[in-house]
Chain A
Amino acid sequence: MNSTTEKSFFGRIDWITILIWLTLCIIGWFNIHAAVFNPEHPGLFSLETNYGKQSIYIFTAMIIGFSILIIDAKFFLSSAPFIYAVVILLLIAVLVVGRSVGGNQSWIPLGSFRLQPSEFGKLATCLLLASYLSSQSSKAPNMRTLLTGAAIVALPIALVMLQKDTGSALVFFSLIFVFYREGYVGNGLLILAALAILLFVLALLINQWILIGVIFLICGFFAYNLRKKRKHLINIGLLFALSSIYILCVDFAYEHILQPHQRNRIDVILGKIDDPRGEGYNLNQSKIAIGSGQFWGKGYLQGTQTKYNFVPEQSTDFIFCTIGEEWGFVGSVILIALYLTLLIRLVNIAERQRTAFARIYAYGVASILFFHFFINLGMTIGIVPVIGIPLPFLSYGGSSLWSFTILLFILLRFDSSRKGLNN
């Protein structure tokens, strides 16, 4: 028995996921090296350079990851509220003692390194949400549970928003997939969410009254076809009224709630601002770097756009530019394939869990990674507005690498002991 447990412990770890994780970290390191490459700079592991620091982050991430694998899985379940409380306190603390970097007051200085508590907020929220929803899983999905779960997510969102770190706050919205999978959110709501995003974009592009008129015509068309069914007519009327109000709200929110730089970023992506040297500089340079990579890329350390600092934030949020430029379409597709494999696999892992806690947590991890992947790549190639969030495992930075690693390895820990972890 003992010998089989010993054997099965390593046997049950999902090595494929670990391999993908390691590959992504290594790709990240090489591209950070390329992004800041300067032949005059000191050696590869010098602490003065980003890639030197990143190699330490990767090494510590490994230690953290494997430490997690030997911690009892139940520990995370039981300590979820505690971890959540600590992170919330840190998020409050950061508002008081935080250092402002790039307009976001989200860093706590720790010696020569800085800690970004919002990165750990995702972990804490996932754990507590999983813990709470799993405790309610014997009941059918109900509004009360949904609202409590939403509150668990909303608290960190509010605190992160107060740090003016909109990007990190948006990440929490990805947890809608968790609610969806657990049945708290229906297909209709998912479609409605998609519709809301579409209307948001249209409201900004088209005159709001024309848009309302067009929606009226579409609704009228459906209402005429379904005129026999009263219930549908009411729904259509409701939908029209809601969308009209929504469109008017979008305009108001856009003008009065969003900050000017956020408005500009949206305008750039919608093509309403054509200012490649001003507001659109980041995006334009990012697209130039990636676009100039062509099919095969320029080769390692040969990317002129990234090497010569045309792309801002190129070792953190815009790390994908280096990949796009130096490794071309081929390298980019391989990277995307790696991420997609990881995401699909995480969903599969989620579904093979025996406990609702582990499954919900796994969905949380997958959702957060997916959101980062989508928004980060989307922003570098100009399909979503510039939102400053890192590319998981690749972007330079200790907080981000560690938090994603912890997030992933806790899941792997659950997975490796799924047979022993029961409700």
Chain B
Amino acid sequence: MNNSFFARKFVIQGIFIAIAIIIVARLFYIQIIDKSYLLSANNNVLRKVVVYPARGVVFDRNGKVLVQNEPVYDLMVIPQEAKEIDTALLCQLIDIPVEGFKKRMDKARAHSPYRASPFEKQLPSTTYAQLQEHLYKFRGFYVQNRTVRSYPDSVAAQVLGYTLEANERDIERSKGFYRPGDYIGATGIERSYEDLLRGQRGVKNQMVDALNRPKGVFMEGKYDTLAVAGDGLISTLDKDLQVLAEKLMKGKMGSIVAIEPSTGEILTFVSSPGYNPNMMVGRERGNNYMKLLNDKTKPMFVRPIQAYYPPGSVFKVVAALTAQQAGVIDEHTVFNCPGGYRYGGGRAIMRCTHVDGPTGLIKSIQKSCNTYYGYVYARMIDSRGMPSTKAYDLWREAIGKFGIGHTLGIDLPGEKPGLIPTSSWYTKRYGNDKWKSGYNISLSIGQGEMGITPLQMANIMAIVANRGFYYRPHLVKGIGEKKIIRKEYTEKIHAGVDAKYYEAVIEGMSRAVNVPGGTGYSVRVPGVEMCGKTGTAQNPHGKDHAVFFAFAPRENPKIAIAVFVENAGFGGVWAGPMVNMLVEKYLKDTISLPKYTQDRIFNANFLPKETAKKEEVKKDSTKTKKDTAAVVKTAAVRDEKKEMFVHHSQVTRR
């Protein structure tokens, strides 16, 4: 028995006990003292999934949907975890070229190797369904669902606008509300009502396994926050009318704006050429956007609020009203029209296309007599017992109350004020303040250095329809479930001319449409007394612009409308029938115009040929310099507007 080393038993047992104590001590440290492991465990298993709220849905005034949401799926990647991926299969599943994999991965890694970045955005449901079956093979990838806009009728693109990913500046300005990858309203209602439409993001604490597969909800959702959907909006637009108006403007450049005079609600708002709003959604958005941006016809240009046109005939309505208010004429004032207005001591003449003879106020409107308004303007500037600069300022202030030269405050971004120079601008131009009405007589008939937007034109019609006041034109009449309307759109604004002065003007406009031989007789609406006027702006760069503006019915008017078709020719031939169809459709829900007339309008195409493009090429001012040199030299306005001016001598009335 070799048992002399019996005592070593205790050494061995001692070692066993010592090691056990070391292990227990170590466990005590990592399980009880050091709390970081619990945190790391949660980090391991938790993925905070942002729940994107649905943006608010936009309805038309009758509750029909204009914009809704559609689910799409963003494929996200955490670069550090994405290893040993079958790239070919992934690329095939999401339909991207294999070379694209590295590019996207590099981009994501540049953002952060440990945080999730979008790998491919806005996968449609069908692609997602295929991808989902294989997703477990792609470690580090997961899918984030969100919604994008969808436009069931593809109308009103310019009104509704589109959303874009928030850029650095948006993110900074929002003080952390937006995060990279969030969408933000970029134009239209999407932008002006962004705060209401966007809703509130939610966060879901999801558990994942080591391969990033979702494994249920953490702590039964105790720490989750719900996403709150954005407020719905009720637009003032009438979808059916909008559809018709867009159909009418197809193949033409120009604008249609229709307003409900009693509220300022915009019924139709067309900027043509427009674009299909669905183009600005989805994976092709970038390409589509560039295409639209490079389109010479400028589909992104919101003509009704950004294009300036010489007001022409519609200004005669304003001139007649302001002159009466100023007391320089009354409804019985008569001027003789020998076929033109002579000024500058008889050396110059502003032609009238007709020899109207003795002309009263009503007839001047009905026949759109240039001579009459030459006299009116001369009285306004020269015969008020004050320096002409002061008289001009008063005149300018009066027409300014009709919106000319001012933004109207529509709920769309990018509204332009129009143009009407100040007296000092003319003083500077002529070198002294001794100038008279003859110096800028074209202003008398809404030509020369005067530009207004189609919205302002329609709004003037609304003022006339209301006999003296308007509500700021707007596109949203109800916000959220309570259908709140913004306060500024309930405020009645007076145009500075008393109601009694309107009747003669309205009578003139009524006769223009409803009396045989009137310029708008062919487009009168059966059973409705529509008051309106045609205008045709001669265009030095191409075919004339056709204009028609009207309101109806005469008593208790329901619609005020302005139609402007560029390069179309005669207002009565092109713009008039459009007004006829829109007004009858809105008031009586029928169209009684003969089918062949309708087809003629629908099928017409006035989009410029290559040579005529300069009309719309805003930046290319050199081409048109010759025509507008005089104005360009001194006018303190932006290049793009100058080309819209048409000299009075080129304006005829019809």
Contact = CB atoms under 8 A, between A and B. Distances in A.
Contacts of B26: 381-383
B623 interface: no
A288 interface: yes
A292 interface: yes
B30 A291 contact: yes
A131 to B, nearest CB: 15
Interface stretch (A232-240, A260-268, A326-334): A326-334
A336 B12 CA distance: 17
Nearest to A360: B2
Contacts of A137: 1-2
A348 to B, nearest CB: 8
B12 A290 contact: no
A102 B391 CA distance: 98
A288 B37 contact: yes
Interface string B1-31: 1101110110111001101101110111011
A291 B45 CA distance: 14
A299 to B, nearest CB: 14
A3 interface: no
A336 B38 contact: no
B27 A310 contact: no
Contacts of A309: 209-211
Contact of B45 (A305, A332, A336, A366): A305
A181 B9 contact: yes
A361 to B, nearest CB: 15
A204 to B, nearest CB: 20
A332 B210 contact: no
Contact of B210 (A294, A310, A344, A351): A310
Q: Which 6 A-B pairs have the closest CB atoms?
A: A291-B37, A308-B209, A292-B41, A291-B30, A309-B210, A137-B2
B44 interface: yes
26 contacts: A138-B2, A180-B8, A181-B12, A190-B11, A291-B36, A291-B37, A292-B38, A292-B40, A294-B38, A295-B31, A304-B41, A305-B41, A305-B45, A308-B210, A309-B209, A309-B210, A310-B45, A325-B41, A332-B27, A336-B20, A337-B20, A340-B16, A347-B16, A374-B19, A381-B23, A381-B30
B16 A343 contact: yes
Contacts of A290: 27, 30-31, 37
Interface in A138-187: 138, 141, 177, 180-183, 187
A351 to B, nearest CB: 5
Contacts of A187: 11
A320 to B, nearest CB: 10
Contact of B27 (A141, A333, A356, A370): A333
Size band of the A side of the interface?
35 or more
A177 B41 contact: no
A324 B31 contact: yes
Interface in B68-120: 80
B215 interface: yes
B27 A182 contact: no
Task: Name the residue among A177, A183, A305, A328 with the largest chain B CB count within 10 angstroms.
Answer: A305
Interface in A281-325: 284-285, 287-295, 304-305, 307-310, 324-325
Contacts of B27: 290, 324, 329, 332-333, 336, 381
B41 A308 contact: no
Contacts of A325: 41
A195 to B, nearest CB: 15
Given A292-B37, A295-B31, A183 B5 contact: yes
A180 B9 CA distance: 10
B16 A344 contact: yes
A293 B32 CA distance: 9
B30 A287 contact: yes
Interface string A251-272: 0000000000000000000000
A377 interface: yes
A41 interface: no
Contacts of A324: 27, 31
B509 interface: no
B207 A304 contact: yes
Interface string A375-396: 0011001110000000000000
Given A181-B5, A183-B2, A351-B6, A289 B41 contact: yes
A202 B505 CA distance: 105
Contacts of B13: 343-344, 347
B12 A329 contact: no
Contacts of B28: 329
A196 to B, nearest CB: 16
B208 interface: yes
Nearest to A340: B20
A356 to B, nearest CB: 6
Given A138-B2, A182-B2, A333-B24, A294 B32 contact: yes
B215 A277 contact: no
A340 B45 contact: no
A339 interface: yes
B207 A308 contact: yes
B133 interface: no
Interface centre among A137, A328, A340 (most CB of B within 10 A): A340
Contacts of A294: 31-32, 38
Interface residues of B, number: 39
B40 A308 contact: no
Contacts of B37: 287-288, 290-292
B18 to A, nearest CB: 10
A335 B210 CA distance: 27
Given A290-B30, A291-B31, A310-B210, A370 B16 contact: yes
B584 to A, nearest CB: 65
Contacts of B295: none
B220 interface: no
Contact of B9 (A287, A347, A383): A347
Given A305-B45, A336-B20, A374-B19, A183 B4 contact: yes
Contacts of A356: 1-2
A235 to B, nearest CB: 23
Interface string B202-233: 00000111110001000000000000000000
Nearest to A284: B40
A324 to B, nearest CB: 7
Given A290-B27, A328-B31, A308 B45 contact: yes
Contacts of A370: 16, 19
B17 A288 contact: no
B284 interface: no
B34 interface: yes
Contacts of A295: 31-32
B79 to A, nearest CB: 12
Contacts of A293: 31
B45 A383 contact: no
A308 B31 contact: no
A345 B12 CA distance: 12
Interface centre among A182, A308, A366 (most CB of B within 10 A): A308
B205 to A, nearest CB: 12
Q: Which of A187, A336, A382 has the most CB of B within 10 A?
A: A336
Contacts of B5: 181-183
A309 B44 CA distance: 11
Contacts of B208: 308
A383 B23 contact: yes
Interface in B36-63: 36-38, 40-42, 44-45
A350 B20 CA distance: 20
A350 B19 CA distance: 20
A351 B20 CA distance: 21
A287 B35 CA distance: 12
Contact of A332 (B1, B31, B209): B31
